[in-house]
Structure 1
Amino acid sequence: MHGLALTSPAELAEEATLAALLRCCVREVAGPRGLVWPAPPYLLLRVGGALLRARTRGGAALRFEGRPERLEAGAWHPLTADELVRLAEADLGGDRDHNGEFAGQVAASREAVAEILRARAAAVPPADPWLASEQALVYGHPFHPSPKARGGAGWLRYAPEAHARFPLRLLGVREDVLAEEGDAGALDLLGVAPAGYRLLPAHPWQLDLLRPRLGGELVDLGPGPAVVPTSSVRTVYAPAAGACLKFSLDVRITNCVRKNAWYELAGAVELTSRLTPIFDEISGKFPGTRWLPEPGYRSARLGPRLLEGLGVIVRDGPWTACSPGVTPILAGALAAGTGFGPAGSARPDAVLAGPAGPPRLGALGRDPVAWWAAYVSAVAPPVLELYFEHGVILEPHLQNVLVGLDDSGLPVEAVFRDLEGTKLVTGRHDLTGLAPQVAQALSYDAERGWARVVYCLLVNHLMEIAGTVAGGDETLLPHLWKAAREIFVRQAGELGWPLPLSDLLAGSPLPAKANLSVRWARAADRSAGYVPIANPLA
């Protein structure tokens, strides 16, 4: 297939699936065993006893071009995703520790990508450039064996990558069984509830899964206003409310069943209250720093299943957070231009394009090092400041950060979101008075929290954006990381050179999340471990 144009959704999905699984094998299977060798223009590795090779794109070790191959009887033969699954299974456990679900999850993800590509070709992207960027993650996480695996049926009608748009279902909750904390008033802009009831929007997919008994305490008010799903699938933007709504979905999306546990509902409101003065202080020091508070939630107090299953968290919309003239763009959409999709399928300008065209990225083309320095300056220093000075652990991965671009396309603001992944360093905050489950869910010990910050900020985020900026020019990468190092060094000096940051700048390996291993183990995402990878800041 090398050198041939890929036009079929099935072919594109196969190549993307194969490349993602191969990257996982390099990072988690062959790499730790010393079974990866550069042989330009190829990367060689041994998986399941077989010798494989993949042509690298632009010299980038984990960006592949064309079909990887397997050496058999002295000749190279094209590799398929199904074959690589079997080879990976042999190394991951074989007959001793077999995961009967794994192959099916990889195949389901591949089919989902093909379905998304077919639907996307016939759909119209949102005119809003921010929403277009939210719906740009066609191939998903580049280091996940099944990035688009989704449970349940009928998911395509709700898929952001397929440019979905759908009406909410509106329920009325009798006031005596209403569950609410904080300010969830934005939900009342979505419709009108009858006397004695409060409005509760529901995701139609979740309502089909839950099938609650309606009538009396919980009544069906019919269809509501249209919403647009964002990159996480279960969080939607509701133009009628000017807010994002984070619903529960009782389906597995990549690693997790995406349900709002009761302590996460309460925790979002608690964190919003605690972080408001902290972010005010941070934005005073770093004027480009923004965040999206989650001021309230609403649900029905009708037993644990419905309390969690119907719980919806209100989150501020990004346009209200950004300054006038600044366009918020999902960081993950920019990273989709790193070449992790099939050849030629993902460029920054293409993935961000809406009916009005893509946001202007001229500043990136004119001076990529200056653009990168502006990007790192917007994103990294506030994350480090929050951790070391305030004991706050952000989760600044590619789906949790929006980058504010000015009219020239230069990054000038960073918008942090999703309080589910935000934690407080144990012992740095007084959590007296909180329910034990809420306090436990809000806390990480310092070492675990630092690993999470480094993984999300550097491995998941900045390394992928660096790939976007460099394109296929590997000679540019040292200049990018030199500029990034200067920013980190300056921030380390401001913070008094804390030991974890000093070790990072001295070249300590970076922790890369082991998505393949956690899926193989059928473990909860929170139990995922890390594998060490090279530190480009060294």
Structure 2
Amino acid sequence: MHGLAIDASAGSAERATLAALLRCCVREVAGPRGLVWPAPPYVLLRVAGTLLRARTHGGAALRFEGPPERLESGAWRPLASDELVRLVETELQGRGGVRGRNGEFGEQVAASRDAVAAILRARASAVPPADPWLASEQALVYGHPFHPSPKARGGAGWLAYAPEAHARFPVRLLGVREDALAQGGDASVLDTMGRAPDGYRVLPAHPWQLDLLGPVLGRELIDLGPGPVVVPTSSVRTVYVPEAEVCLKFSLDVRITNCVRRHAWYELAGAVELTERLTPVFDELSARHPATRWLPEPGYRSVSLGSGLHEGLGVIVRRSPWAACSPGVTPILAGALAQETKAHDPVAWWRSYVTVVALPVLDLYFTHGVVLEPHLQNVLAGLDGDGLPVEAVFRDLEGTKLVAGRHDLGGLHPEVARALTYDAERGWARVVYCLLVNHLTEIAATLAGTDDDLLRELWRTARDLFDRQSARLGRPLPLQDLLAGAPLPAKANLGVRWARAADRAAGYVPIANPLA
């Protein structure tokens, strides 16, 4: 039986890896060159001269049914992920050398596939959290559906800290001598997690990060032993502390999807700055959108022992979603709803979902000049006792920005100010990508399943809601262009991985707009 389980895990990991890479090819490789053709029930595409096909549904979400195939000697044969990697490498290396070569790409895809298999094997014998919110946080086994290597992670021993494997572990508590303490805002909840000797303050640390950093202890920084047991959430480095009813966001010196997840010093300071600035904004917004909730990040704590440790040991305090939601409302990660949603009346469920999730995001951008990053891992839907979305919880201030020119940032360090802002065009592209391409497209595909008529009805409903919101906002031109059918910007995750570039350098490719 054990061997069968391993084979099943490997098979599922292979199918998921192939599907994600094929979606990337449709969106970033074949699509921009006009080499994708609908041939219902298939989509056809050509990569490096080879014709591929797959049965699809779900519109732009590209949900596949059955195995993708390649045309060889006049016959359709099953396609493997390793074969598709070779085709992608041939395609991208062959464009006049413009994109260069990438000797790591195939290894990253294989590492992600192996990680998925390891996660599936671990889940088979693990106990999921009883808390429905935490269970939803730990449900994202396969990761980003449009990323070539969504589960590739650096460092050893990662499985012990993987949310998808239902990990739980104690944080390590460090004692920081008070004259070596660095903090901003209100991080006093950290003092409730353990006891430090006189002259020291408590600093919780992620045990994986301590392994990655190597020796850090000395007179200014002492080991206080294990602390409270925590539960990792979908971002891996953010954990929930049940004892303190608070979330902690750690630094991790590993690449997760596109980024090495280390706090820059200006991100630590920026979280507190944004919390102070956004508190009155969300107070005003909630008067127009009473279902809107958010998770402030009121403080951070670290050490002033050089930039490496200041950033590497920095921890941001974040409010718990249970504290944000109303009584009787259960927060559920949007990414988990994109995998499985059961609705008695899918159109009514969707209308409520778009109302509580999408409309306040548009209001924040146009009325307040605030760019949220409402992708599937940054939004929690608050479900009532009947499973209807009645609240939306927005989180993660690292991705939240202010539109340049609409806020007075005088007095801030230039690096903090730069990190907190987007120009209007970049901010709008980020909102549209996260909200529509990454988020609503996936939710709609799950609700509709293989029913294309229902999918069209869902998008008609969304269009009506967006149109009414546009009227309330004075019909701003970018939103009117969106309603007129302007193409949507889809983030080029394959391109940024191939270029081995930072996530902030990722470009966009245009895709069809389902609101049209």
Same fold (TM over 0.5): yes
Q: Distance in 2 between matches of 1:46 and 1:375?
A: 37
2:230 maps to 1:233: no
1:86 is matched with 86
2:472 is matched with 494
**Please, which of 493, 501, 505 is the counterpart of residue 527 of structure 1?**
505
Taking the TM superposition and a 5 Å limit, the aligned residue runs for 1:152-167 are 152-167=155-170
The letter for the 2-side match of 1:401 is V
Say whether the 8 Å CA contact 1:60–1:474 is kept in structure 2: no
Q: Distance in 2 between matches of 1:246 and 1:302?
A: 20
Q: Distance in 2 between matches of 1:371 and 1:229?
A: 29
Q: Distance in 2 between matches of 1:471 and 1:77?
A: 26
Taking the TM superposition and a 5 Å limit, the aligned residue runs for 1:201-220 are 201-220=204-223
- Unaligned stretches of 5+ residues in structure 2: none
2:171 is matched with 168
Aligned CA RMSD, in angstroms, stands at 1.4
1:61 shift after superposition:
7.4
Structure 1 segments, 4+ long, off by >6 Å, are 58-61
1:149 is matched with 152
Alignment partner of 2:176: what SS?
Answer: strand
CA deviation vs aligned residue, 1:98-146 (integer Å, no higher than 9, x gap): 1001000000000000000000111000000000000000000000000
1:6 shift after superposition:
11
**Please, which of 432, 442, 445 is the counterpart of residue 410 of structure 2?**
432
Say whether the 8 Å CA contact 2:60–2:441 is kept in structure 1: no
2:95 maps to 1:117: no
Alignment partner of 1:395: what SS?
Answer: coil
1:63 shift after superposition:
1.1
- Unaligned stretches of 5+ residues in structure 1: 338-347, 349-360
**Please, which of 397, 409, 417 is the counterpart of residue 387 of structure 2?**
409
TM-score (norm 1): 0.93
2:326 is matched with 323
Say whether the 8 Å CA contact 1:152–1:251 is kept in structure 2: yes
Q: Distance in 2 between matches of 1:430 and 1:183?
A: 23
Q: Distance in 2 between matches of 1:266 and 1:436?
A: 12
Alignment partner of 1:179: what SS?
Answer: strand
Q: Distance in 2 between matches of 1:293 and 1:173?
A: 25
2:18 maps to 1:15: no
Distance change in 2, residues 1:284/1:59 (3 Å) = closer
The letter for the 1-side match of 2:120 is L
Say whether the 8 Å CA contact 1:178–1:298 is kept in structure 2: yes
Say whether the 8 Å CA contact 1:172–1:200 is kept in structure 2: yes
CA deviation vs aligned residue, 1:229-282 (integer Å, no higher than 9, x gap): 000000000112111000000000110000110000000000000000000000
Say whether the 8 Å CA contact 1:231–1:399 is kept in structure 2: yes
1:75 is matched with 75
1:105 is matched with 108
Q: Distance in 1 between matches of 2:410 and 2:393?
A: 30
2:46 is matched with 46
Distance change in 2, residues 1:250/1:370 (3 Å) = same
1:284 shift after superposition:
1.2
2:274 is matched with 271
Q: Distance in 2 between matches of 1:416 and 1:149?
A: 26
Alignment partner of 1:481: what SS?
Answer: helix
**Please, which of 246, 253, 256 is the counterpart of residue 253 of structure 1?**
256
CA deviation vs aligned residue, 1:277-322 (integer Å, no higher than 9, x gap): 0000001110000000000000010000000000000000000000
The letter for the 2-side match of 1:79 is L
Alignment partner of 2:486: what SS?
Answer: coil
Alignment partner of 1:65: what SS?
Answer: strand
Say whether the 8 Å CA contact 1:59–1:472 is kept in structure 2: no
Taking the TM superposition and a 5 Å limit, the aligned residue runs for 1:390-405 are 390-405=368-383
CA deviation vs aligned residue, 1:200-241 (integer Å, no higher than 9, x gap): 000000001112331310000001110000000000001121
2:367 is matched with 389
CA deviation vs aligned residue, 1:182-203 (integer Å, no higher than 9, x gap): 0001111211111100000000
Say whether the 8 Å CA contact 2:53–2:68 is kept in structure 1: yes
1:59 shift after superposition:
8.1
Alignment partner of 1:68: what SS?
Answer: strand
Of 46-55 and 110-119, deviating more is 46-55
Alignment partner of 1:219: what SS?
Answer: strand
Say whether the 8 Å CA contact 2:61–2:445 is kept in structure 1: no
Of 401-410 and 53-62, deviating more is 53-62
Q: Distance in 2 between matches of 1:243 and 1:313?
A: 11
Q: Distance in 1 between matches of 2:120 and 2:219?
A: 43
Number of aligned residues = 509
Alignment partner of 1:137: what SS?
Answer: coil
1:513 is matched with 491
Q: Distance in 2 between matches of 1:520 and 1:130?
A: 35
Say whether the 8 Å CA contact 2:57–2:449 is kept in structure 1: no
1:352 is matched with none
2:32 maps to 1:29: no
Alignment partner of 2:66: what SS?
Answer: coil
1:522 shift after superposition:
0.5
TM-score (norm 2): 0.97
Q: Distance in 2 between matches of 1:118 and 1:267?
A: 39
Taking the TM superposition and a 5 Å limit, the aligned residue runs for 1:341-380 are 348=341, 361=342, 364-365=343-344, 367-380=345-358
1:41 shift after superposition:
2.2
Say whether the 8 Å CA contact 1:247–1:311 is kept in structure 2: yes
1:7 shift after superposition:
6.7
1:73 shift after superposition:
1.1
Identity of aligned residues (%): 78
Q: Distance in 2 between matches of 1:371 and 1:453?
A: 23
The letter for the 1-side match of 2:464 is E
1:355 is matched with none
2:420 is matched with 442
Q: Distance in 1 between matches of 2:152 and 2:216?
A: 30
1:67 shift after superposition:
1.9
1:297 is matched with 300
1:65 shift after superposition:
2.0
CA deviation vs aligned residue, 1:69-121 (integer Å, no higher than 9, x gap): 11111111211101100101111124931100100000000000000000011
Q: Distance in 2 between matches of 1:67 and 1:415?
A: 37
1:480 is matched with 458
1:58 shift after superposition:
7.4
Say whether the 8 Å CA contact 1:43–1:61 is kept in structure 2: no
Alignment partner of 1:493: what SS?
Answer: helix
2:177 maps to 1:177: no
Alignment partner of 2:45: what SS?
Answer: strand
Say whether the 8 Å CA contact 1:26–1:45 is kept in structure 2: yes
Q: Distance in 1 between matches of 2:409 and 2:60?
A: 46
Q: Distance in 2 between matches of 1:443 and 1:397?
A: 18
Alignment partner of 1:66: what SS?
Answer: strand
Q: Distance in 1 between matches of 2:218 and 2:52?
A: 60
Say whether the 8 Å CA contact 1:424–1:442 is kept in structure 2: yes
1:479 shift after superposition:
0.9
Say whether the 8 Å CA contact 1:40–1:59 is kept in structure 2: no
